[in-house]
Chains A and B, each alone.
Chain A
Amino acid sequence: MTAYIVRRLLATIPVMVVVALFVFLLLHLTPGDPAAVIAGDDASPADIEAIRRKLGLDLAIWQQFVIYVGNLLRGDLGTSIFSNLPVLTLVKQRLEPSLVLAVSTLVLAIALAIPMGVLAAWKARSWIDRVVMGFSVLGFAVPVFLIGYLLIYVFAIELRWLPVQGYRPLAQGIEQTARSILLPAIALSMVYMALIARMTRASMLEVLSEDYIRTAHSKGVATIVVLLRHALKNAAVPIVTVIGIGLTLLISGVVITETVFNIPGLGRLTVDAILKRDYPIIQGLIILFAGAKVLVNLMIDISYVFFDPRIRY
């Protein structure tokens, strides 16, 4: 197992190199010029050129790439062109809101979607199944921003139960944080719930038709025990896989959710940086996102061992 983990971790190195190269080229070959944004609308072409020189954007792309990789190897993600602050500082400022949002969304989605999927499979083709699957289709179809606006209108504007926007850090107390994160987490978890509920249902239906389930029933084991201990655990591997895949959805959904609910997280940092062509921030964030994705995949693979003892690495 240890050898497997080490091998997988070593394999991330070429992945990250390819990601770094790809991101760098994509950004620098895409139209857009941070110098023009800095200079403003009234600036003369000469001013823009002077700013470009100061930022080192007049260098050849390969020279810029060598500087970028050199900095990366020293653990330096660079400095924001606009705020003049290190990218790492900006990431640290934004990490907590994004993590809290992602974890809350995951907890909410898993906690609700798995029981929904189990219930739908148990009562397959009944009205309960249709309601759960209907909800699932809705969760996929309705865009996260629309759900966000609806939640804001009902719970923040009309009922005044929760805030419209903003994030309260954990340092201000868990209750404040929970209140600020509840609506965004609900909005973001919808698509995720839909995904997990469907997968749970499909996986459970397959397991529930197995002989050992029939045996368990004939032995007189309680239905709840059959569902949770016998069926769900054996159906867990595909569910865990889809949770891992769903993390990609979570990253893209975070960008929109953070914008709608004004959560100062990594998603908004990414979008703002892209719109302003703040290259160091975009490059740094994509490297971090790619690294996180690789690590999550590794964790998911390792978790299979716990759910299915037949799996060995």
Chain B
Amino acid sequence: MLTRAKFPELWLATAVLAAVGSIGAPDAVAQPKEKVLRAAMHADVRTVDPFWTTQTIAAIHGLMVYDTLFSSDINLDPKPQMVESWTVSPDRKVYTFKLRDGLKFHDGTAVTSKDVVASMNRWGKRDGAGKQLMGYTKALTAKDAKTFEWALTEPYGLLIDILAKTGTSIPFVMREKEALVDAFSQIQEVVGSGPFMFKRDEWVPGSKTVYVKFKEYIPRKEPASGHAGGKVVKVDRVEFIWLSDPQTAQSALVAGEIDYLENPAIDFMPNLKKTPGIKLEVHPAMGTMGILQLNHLHPPFNNVKARQAMYYLINNADYLNTIAADESLQTLCFSYFGCGVSMETDAGSEPYKGAKNIARAEQLFKEAGYKGEPITILHATDHQYINPANLVMIQQLRKAGFLKLDVQAMDWGSVVSRRAKKETPAQGGWNIFITGTTVLTSSSPVTHTSIGMGCDKAWFGWPCDKKFEDLRKDWAFAPDIAARKKIAVELSKRAYDQVPYISFAQWRNPVAYRSDRLSGVQTMPSVPPMWNIETK
């Protein structure tokens, strides 16, 4: 109890206690004895089931813990990973795969064909490309412990490419026990056969996720290349530390408290570039493509002329200079499939590449029947690049002078919810929202969800064009890359004609790491590999 006599002494004592500082104490980061790689990723591992959500961070977690049948190498070409060998029937409808020796789950049990079949079935219920593949699948059968057969209804040419896909929803192999869990429910146990084991007891969602080396993992003999080749783990432990504040994240890297920063904010690049011991690296296909999504269900953008008119108002360079001021990160890209990738093409973009033409845009809007109705824009104000992109777009549209805008500011979570509404803007729907996709996702017409024009089955905005969808299907069935490139040109022309969305820019997102502490870092778009990295 506080007494008359004790009260002043008490606060004096607390003052002394509070003043007992640690100034001059040794450096904050005690070096652990084991080799630890501390990485700050773009998001927090909040969900440990990589099929349950298509968030990229779930794929990054998945790649640590699970293994894949095929993987993309540094050039994004598919290479076998868990598969030892495979054959294709002459009619290209039956693929027979054999698993390589020594594959083991973290619980010590062997990986079998039954695990593979169950995993592919679960993945095929959630992933867009997986769903398409399953649509052409006649039967997926385990022949023996190490052999399985994939029979197709038609000679679908993308089977291997899709099994090697990276980005979101990678087709990982789980134990049959987890793979039989409903695809819309989360699995409870995380037991993979990948190079790292998940430490559930150290997992603090929203703060830290820990992985330790799986000592019984047998890497392939080939050198590591992207996600392919030998996954040789050279550290004992990897810690994903969630640093939600970009300023703090870059400070932590500069101070050496973390070794790897997956997604440094573009504003801090100049600072990181000049800091000794820090290196910035980028993969050619590593980047973001801005999407200005138009709603095809309601006026004015239910009329193709209004959609085309938007191209005469949007100046890509303005977005790039705002989002990624560093010119080395900018790509003035007019390819719907991204630039720096095999399907890059700007076919059909010719009318829109010149100076902006407000008079032409106004004329097209008039022809589309626009009479000054408010255009509802869902403006996400809490997103790193979507907010500035919205500000640029609003400025450009206001500058045109003939459009009436109804700008509705909200957080990104609200945009995600609101964009699903098909009602008219007056009834809670929308006309425009801005989002983005990775260059990797957009590089294939099959995985590029937002370019699809499948009407009711299409992405938000619901573009509808049968010719375009037929071309997409042709692309998927093309026998080789040359044939695919040819079809990609046709797809691009049709996209510029129909305008499913406006692609406003492409910019690169390098990773930053302590080159004085790490070696063997490989960059890959969206999902960075953590094996092969050595700590000094």
A residues lining the B interface (CB < 8 Å): 30-33, 36-45, 47-48, 50-51, 53-54, 80, 82-85, 90, 93-94, 104, 107-108, 110-112, 114-115, 149, 152-153, 156-157, 160-166, 175, 178-180, 182, 228-229, 232-233, 259-262, 264, 268-269, 271-272, 275-277, 306
Contacts and interface: CB of A to CB of B under 8 A. Distances in A.
A83 B205 contact: yes
Interface of B: 1-2, 4, 7-8, 11, 14-15, 17-19, 21-25, 27-29, 44, 46-48, 52-55, 126, 128, 168-169, 182, 184-186, 188, 204-208, 241-245, 247-248, 251-252, 254-255, 257, 382, 410-414, 416-418, 420, 435, 437, 441, 449-450, 457, 459-460
Contacts of B205: 80, 82-83, 85, 90
Contacts of A157: 251, 254-255
A107 B18 contact: yes
B1 A306 contact: yes
Contact of A180 (B23, B28, B242): B28
Contact of A228 (B8, B204, B254, B450): B8
B54 A264 contact: no
Given A31-B414, A163-B28, A275-B413, A268 B244 contact: yes
A247 B17 CA distance: 21
A115 B15 contact: yes
- The A interface is mostly helix, strand or loop, or mixed, namely helix
B7 A276 contact: no
B238 to A, nearest CB: 16
B381 to A, nearest CB: 13
Given A33-B417, A44-B457, A47-B126, 6 more contacts: A32-B416, A39-B54, A42-B54, A42-B450, A161-B22, A229-B8
B244 A259 contact: yes
B247 A149 contact: yes
A123 B241 CA distance: 49
Contact of A260 (B241, B248, B413): B248
A47 B460 CA distance: 13
Contacts of B22: 161-162, 175, 178-179, 182
B255 A160 contact: yes
- The SS class assigned to the B binding surface is loop
Nearest to A158: B255
Given A84-B186, A229-B4, A165 B251 contact: yes
A261 B248 contact: yes
Contacts of B27: 160
A306 B128 CA distance: 68
B414 to A, nearest CB: 4
Contact of A32 (B4, B188, B252, B417): B417
Nearest to B5: A229
A153 to B, nearest CB: 8
B31 to A, nearest CB: 13
Given A260-B245, A306-B2, A44 B46 contact: no
B185 A54 contact: yes
Contacts of A85: 205
Contacts of B450: 42
9 contacts: A32-B414, A38-B47, A90-B206, A94-B204, A108-B18, A152-B251, A164-B28, A259-B245, A259-B248
Contacts of B1: 306
A135 to B, nearest CB: 16
Nearest to B7: A233
B19 A111 contact: yes
The 4 closest A-B pairs by CB, nearest first: A40-B54, A163-B28, A264-B207, A111-B15
Contact of B410 (A31, A50, A115): A31
A148 B431 CA distance: 41
A179 B25 contact: yes
B8 A112 contact: no
A115 B1 CA distance: 22
A160 B204 CA distance: 27
B184 A50 contact: yes
Contact of A83 (B7, B47, B457): B47
Given A36-B416, A111-B11, A112-B15, A175 B25 contact: yes
A162 B247 contact: no
A67 B360 CA distance: 57
Nearest to A44: B457
Given A31-B414, A110-B14, A264-B206, A164 B255 contact: yes
A306 B46 CA distance: 47
A67 B208 CA distance: 31
A108 B255 CA distance: 26
A277 B254 CA distance: 33
A276 B413 CA distance: 7
Contacts of B437: 41-42
A107 B206 contact: no
Contacts of B21: 182
Contacts of A160: 27, 255
Contact of A165 (B17, B128, B184, B257): B257
